[in-house]
Amino acid sequence: MFGIQNPSTSQKIKQPRSIAFTNGQIFQGRITNLYPNDVATLTMNGIQLTARMEVALTVGQRYWFEVKEASGIPRLKIIDDNIKQRESSATTSTERLRQQLDLPSTKSMSTLLRLLSRNQLPFLKEDVLKGYTILRELNQLNERGYRTIMNMIKSSIHISREAFLSFQSMEKQPSLLAQITKLYHSLEPINTPASKEVRLLIENIIKPNYTQIIQSPITQLLAKLGENEGARQLLSRLGILKRETPIQEIFQTFERNFKNPTYREIVEKLWPETSTNRDLLNMNQLIRKVNIAAGKQGMGQLQQLLQLFHSPIRAEEVYAKWLQLPQASLSQEEKNVLQTILMTATPFNIQEAPGLHLKNLFLMLGLQYENDLASFFQGDLGQESIHSNRLKALLMMLTQHDLPENVSVQVKQSLVRLTGQQLLMHEQSGAFHQYLYQLPIVLGTYSTDLTLKWEGKKDDEGKLDPKYCRVLFYLTLAHLREIIIDVHIQNRIVQIDIYNDKERPDALLSLLLPLLDKL
């Protein structure tokens, strides 16, 4: 594993352990101290609380409380004042609570209450009753159903059938990218303006114009041949050229084969757009015009290009040697060329920043559709703004259309998935906020889901404070696989830690870190 420390034990923003009650909430706590004027301190799930009580209590005992007044110092009512005389069994405690709250006398209700008690979660009676009713109607009086209701209560999510199904859609389901890609293909045979609009929007999400195909590093080296000694040395290491072969002879071999009718089919495939003037171009100019992608995608075209040099090595062998170059003992000329190629090997088009696209993704998915709707009713947004380029809004409209059953299922599943993500997006503990997003991104020709987690506080104007926060990026890359990027920002000073289970690439870092120091 490379990285400074395990992400589970890495430095975190110190967040206060606090809780904001609402009237009517029920929880279990243990009395720690008693004070005059019916004031007491108690602990709940490791959090120390101060509250006003209505009756005398005993230090060290646990009680079930109901919040009667949440503002200021909370005022609590004891639900079961004989709880100190109960048996030690947790089942007996929750059964007494069920009776006090007049909840259904069923084993399933007792199980749900016992789980809430075990996890020390404050809850509302009506939420438990709604949750129990939903589980019974959906035939989910099981571990998964109980866990979903418990997590919804923990996340302060309004309990409803729709919210329950949306919340569950986030558990062990295909990634968001896979979900909307499947929807994209299912809509292909549906020739209606609405379906075309959805497909076009999904195309903009999964095929953004801020990325570009990464050019093969081998063609970049060949384009520098004759201009850079380091490029010639590296091409020799890769087995493409013989070190003793004169540069002029390499050029002549390439240009002779380029004009040879035997290789016409290869030439027309590699340079389809230069048929009128390609005979007037020299080798370096032609190599710069060829479009061969890096990696496996361009392997076939690279093999064809190598034939024009009469190179005996296979393209697969070339790439295997390329990956080993950072570990080799290179001359300074070779290092300079390799650094240049590695630094330009980015899938991002500098004309459009990828950071801007992440913001646009949030809008295009419609993850703040309800906020846009509120702004519309307040006159801040036009009607076109809340429906155009908002996937959730378009899917809601599409559900009103007469669609084939398989397509209708995909539309509803995608809509439920987006709603589920909205439900889990924001969590607050006191002044501390946490936002969690999952966004489909494209890196060159590789597609993946980016999970982004923002932790921090709001400033005096109620806006997220970018000067003091922590941002975590979770994603799976083609070669490094699972990777975590942990960004700490304290008073605008940025610290970045990267975690991955692969061996630390020290040789590659030794090439790239000096360049970063110059930025």
**Which residue(s) pair with 133 in the sheet?**
none
d(CA 414, CA 416): 5
What is the per-residue pLDDT across 188-213, written as a single tens digit (0 to 9) for each? 998 888 888 889 888 888 776 555 56
Q: Which CATH code of 3.10.50.40, 2.40.50.140, 2.40.10.170, 2.10.25.10 fits the domain covering 18-84?
A: 2.40.50.140
Angstrom CA distances, 286 to 225, 258, 271, 274, 363, stand at 12, 10, 8, 9, 42
Please report which confidence band the pLDDT of residue 347 belongs to, taking 50, 70 and 90 as the band edges.
Answer: low
What is the per-residue pLDDT across 394-422, written as a single tens digit (0 to 9) for each? 888 888 888 899 999 888 888 888 887 77
> Can you give the pLDDT at residue 455?
83
> Can you give the pLDDT at residue 5?
35
pTM for the predicted model, two decimal places: 0.58
Give the domain ranges of the chain.
Answer: 18-84, 89-172, 217-345, 425-518
Q: What is the DSSP string of 327-362?
A: GS---HHHHHHHHHHHHH--SB-TTS-HHHHHHHHH
Q: Helical H runs in 192-238?
A: 193-206, 217-223, 229-237
| Burial environment of residue 347 by CB neighbours within 10 A (0 to 12, 13 to 18, 19 or more) | middle
> Can you give the pLDDT at residue 498?
86
Determine which of 100-109, 198-207, 359-368 has the lowest per-residue pLDDT on average: 359-368
The dihedral over CA atoms of 214, 216, 219, 221, expressed in degrees to the nearest 10, equals 90
> Can you give the pLDDT at residue 379?
46
Of 131-145, 345-359, 404-418, 456-470, highest mean pLDDT: 131-145
Whether 424 and 154 have beta carbons less than 8 Å apart is answered as no
3-state secondary structure string across 266-325: HHHHHCCCCCCCHHHCCHHHHHHHCCCECHHHHHHHHHHHHHCCCCCCCHHHHHHHHHHH
d(CA 321, CA 316): 9
> Can you give the pLDDT at residue 350?
44
Please report which confidence band the pLDDT of residue 330 belongs to, taking 50, 70 and 90 as the band edges.
Answer: confident
What is the per-residue pLDDT across 119-155, written as a single tens digit (0 to 9) for each? 888 899 999 999 999 999 999 999 989 999 988 888 7
When computed from its CA atoms, the radius of gyration of the chain, rounded to whole angstroms, is 31
> Can you give the pLDDT at residue 241?
86
Q: What is the DSSP string of 99-167?
A: HHHT---SHHHHHHHHHHHHTT--EEHHHHHHHHHHHHHTT--SHHHHHHHHHHHHTT----HHHHHHH
Please report which confidence band the pLDDT of residue 165 belongs to, taking 50, 70 and 90 as the band edges.
Answer: confident
Q: Which residue has the tokens 């809340």?
A: 386
